[in-house]
Amino acid sequence: MGFRDLIDSVDGAVFETLGDTAYIEGREVLGMFSAPWLQPKFGGINTALREPHLVIRVSDSDGVQVRQQVRVELSVHDGGGEYTLTRLEPGGDGLVALILRINP
């Protein structure tokens, strides 16, 4: 088993166990959602990433495009709701960050 296959297997287990359910144009995916306004504050340090984002596996990113609608299945208090995809940022590690903008 090659390195990428091993990492893909580990990512699969992590996303299946800890992933947040989201829908991209109605297609279900598992990802790791983060909204910066919900992050704990450590010593008043601000991070550069200000937009909400959903990190998904490259294998789930086929056909994903800017301006698509993303629904995150979390409570509103945890940042769940409807978003528009504004940017894709491949990480080179088998994951892609979907940068989102909340829909009014």
- Whether residue 35 contacts residue 80, with contact meaning beta carbons closer than 8 Å, is answered with no
Q: 59 in helix, strand or coil?
A: helix
Q: What is the pLDDT of residues 14-44, one digit of tens each?
A: 888 899 999 999 999 999 999 887 655 555 5
0.85 surpassed by pTM: no
What CATH code is assigned to 3-102?
A: 2.40.10
Q: Rounded distance, CA 20 to CA 80, Å?
A: 10
pLDDT of residue 46: 53
